[in-house]
Amino acid sequence: MKKLCIAAMATAVLLSCGGKQQQQQEPQEEATLSGLYKSKFETEVNGQPTDLYVLKNAKGAEACVTNWGGRLVSVMVPDKNGKMTDVVLGYDSIQAYINSTGNFGALIGRYGNRIANGKFKLDGTEYTLPQNDKTNCLHGGPEGFDRQMWTASQTSGQSVTLTYVSKDGEAGFPGNLNVTVTYTLTDDNAIDIKYEATTDKKTVVNLTNHSYFNLSGVPGSQILDHELSINADSYTPVDDNLIPTGIAKVDGTPLDLRKAQPVGAHIDDDFDQLTKAGGYDHNWVLNTKGDDTQVAATVYAPTSGILMEVYTNEPGLQVYCGNMMAEQETGKHGTVYPRRGAICLESQHYPDSPNHPDFPSTVLEPGQKYYSHCVYKFSTK
């Protein structure tokens, strides 16, 4: 009897040890470099699966993208001391993105920026869009591309391609629009974004990315010390509804940013345009004239030494300095984002172009291909 008890105890000990060993061997989910977990981005929206796509380059930089809204979730690049730093704001779960009304890191369409009174005409036909910004249609309306499910294909360890079909009449826009957007993390630490689209009916298109950048490496800080330069002699002044009234020179105004200066240097100056927008929230008319090898803008954070250069083939760049960010918004890893806690640089055609025949056209016709290119390149100095 004693032998049986001893044998039973030995068996129990072995099973216990084996159980512990098995438990220890069970793989645990590994976080991304930015501390994100793929499982927190895996769900279903409208019957389609969401996921987190991780891009890495040869230098150890990392970018994460989710296919809900085609959003850039994180970008990890080295600071002046080699410390990997997340330079974009966002959330650490897909549910937080869905619950938010903001557009952190999102792909914006069918028309980025504002269309006055939510209306425009093509060949004599008037199209009516949702008004979600006073009387304007902003960023394609409340259910724009930033809140749609994109089909994702990770073509390599450094690139992910997203596709979406915007159906004829969606948000009031004409034509079935087939959109392809490719995010690539290059080996020189740049986020390269290529946008392509075709339509079966004459329409308007203006796609962009709405990432909120903070290069400081200090979670929860403002960007007022970030040094900003914009390669533009002109901008599009706005009315009280932030709709362009034409094109004006930057000379002698706080919008002259041809030489780098801290964002906070003049953002609150007593200047009509700044008062209307609550700070910088304007479209600059780029001097680059579609040449995406020329620098369109730069942002530099003295604390981290991180420099971001922007390149684009677009004629305009909307620069927004978080004037309308909530005073407190909890983002990744519990970080509380303050007002003016980030800067957005949205490559684009000018706001309300469909209602301004003198602006570069955003019309896309059947048989044509829409192509837009933007690069955010990171280095240190």
What does the block give as tokens for 339? 């007002």
Determine the Cα–Cα distance for residues 338 and 359; give it in Å rounded to an integer.
35
Residue 321 to residues 22, 140, 209: CA-CA distances in angstroms?
A: 52, 21, 15
Contact predicate 56/186, CB 8 Å? no
Catalytic residue among 226, 346, 349, 356: 346
Six-digit token pair at 3? 């032998």
Residue that the structure tokens 């930033």 belong to? 146
Is 210 annotated as catalytic?
Answer: yes
Active site residue 346: yes
Q: Rounded to the nearest 5°, which phi and psi values hold at 96?
A: -65, -40
What is the residue whose two structure tokens read 């994100």?
36
Residues 6+ apart with CB under 8 A from 115: 129, 136, 137, 351, 352, 354, 355
Residues paired with residue 344 on neighbouring β-strands, in sequence order: 320
Residue 246's CB is within 10 A of a number of other CB atoms, namely 11
Q: How far apart are CA 260 and CA 245, in angstroms?
A: 26
Q: Which of 139, 210, 282, 356 is catalytic?
A: 210
The count of other CB atoms within 10 Å of the CB of residue 216 is 21
Under a CB-based contact definition with an 8 Å cutoff, are residues 57 and 158 in contact? yes
Catalytic residue ranges: 210, 346
